[in-house]
Structure 1
């Protein structure tokens, strides 16, 4: 993906050879974070090489799903996947992002029984997914990938940590995403939550599927 946004460049001071030129811009994005539930418990009970093997297969398969939905992988964060769509370049970004989260959940369900990633009770791996829309700063550091930074990014990671836990659905979306595609998906009952590190409450919607989709 090529991010379409206004770019501001900041240069390093002449004497600081460790700092390189930074390109900073801003864009409205739709973001998806997928987070492995109970990862700490899994890693405690599983040999590190088996975890690495399992994650390699998992991220490889989810990468294929992401490409099918025109998303861009921003990075893996150990037990989490972070993907983005830019609204300025992809008008249907909200629908694509939610469809990706639903398809990724389905793929994890299919892969889980064959992966060496198990909860303490022996059950297959589960992941929570959050879909958030908001402004983000794009920081392109020389010799590094482009980082997507901001409050919306933080919210996406926090909400992914709530999904698939405590009886919540595997896929959660913010009200902004819901309002952008109200008739496209089957939504559950909204909930007001206040996530760690934020002073405001956010309305989240469980995403139960696509409207008209046939249950398998």
Structure 2
């Protein structure tokens, strides 16, 4: 690195609180000569206000413009993504206990009905009855020998599928749900960058 070179790598997504000032070190990793580094770290880029709502997109061109305003003759090299998505964090409201219980009951009943409807569609009870008859040679309307282990196995299978026991992860491998959530977040970030980044949009009446 030469004495007049500076390297910055924008972070993909960061969080900021309302009415805070976003400085360069909040959104980027910086490599610069010692005489510039502290000044660059504390370089203000954006003031977060209520008008920004939930998402702010900071473009690398604006970052370079701010740097060149305060430091003349430095060569700025960028690495990584061309934008940083800033998520504005507001004070979280406490969730009421009745609302929590209501949502929990709704999800529990909905999941139970989904499982029961699936089992009814595939005739799971008849399958267990036939398996019981094939294995034991007897006919039983309620083959608990199969139904009870199957019920425990269903719960264990869901734990293994989601790779979590409450907040504890079973292993480091991401679950299919986490992968889908990651892909959804990537698509959402791409949409935000394309539609919220004012630097990438030019109106017909712009001059």
Shorter-chain TM-score category?
under 0.3
Larger radius of gyration: 2
TM-score, with normalisation over the residues of structure 2? 0.23
More helix by share: 2
TM-score by length of 1: 0.22
